[in-house]
Amino acid sequence: MQTKQEKRIRLKRKIRAKIGGTGARPRLSVFRSNKFIYAQVIDDTKGKTLLSASDVKIKKGTKSERAKEVGKLISAACLTAKINKVVFDRNGFKYTGRIKTVADEARVGGLKF
C-alpha cells in the first residue's frame, strides 16, 4: 500500500518524463504544502531556477486567497523578465483548489501555457 506522498511522487515522475522547460519556454512548477504554496519558473536545459514566488511572507487571507497572490506575483515576475510562455507542472498534485487558482491567476496575469 502506497502512502499519499509516495503516490504523488510516482505521478510526478510520470509527468516530468513528458514535460520539460527550455530557455524559450521554461517550466512553471507549483508545490503545495499544508501551510504554504510555492511556484518557481525553471529552465531544465541549464538546471536553473529563473524566478520564484511563495506565500510564506503573505500573512493575511485564506490559503486560496494567498494562492491567488502567488499566481499574480509569479506572472508579474515572468513578464518583467520577458517570459510570456511557460509549461505548467502540477508536480503530481490534482489540478483543483490552490493549484488551479495559481494557474488561473498566472493566466490572467498574462502567461500563456
pLDDT at position 2 is 86
Smallest CA-to-CA distance from 31 within 65, 61, 55 is with 55
Domain that holds residue 38: 4-19+26-108
In percent, the amount of the chain with pLDDT more than 70 equals 100
In total, how many domains does the chain have? 1
In a domain, 113, yes or no: no
User: What average pLDDT does the structure give for the chain?
Assistant: 94
Residue 75 is assigned to a structural domain of this protein: yes
Alpha-carbon span 25 to 6, nearest angstrom: 29
pTM of the model: 0.91
**Which CATH number is 100's domain given?**
3.30.420.100
pLDDT tens column, 3-28: 999 999 999 999 999 998 888 899 99
Q: Flag whether 103 is in a domain.
A: yes
User: Residue 1 above 90 pLDDT?
Assistant: no
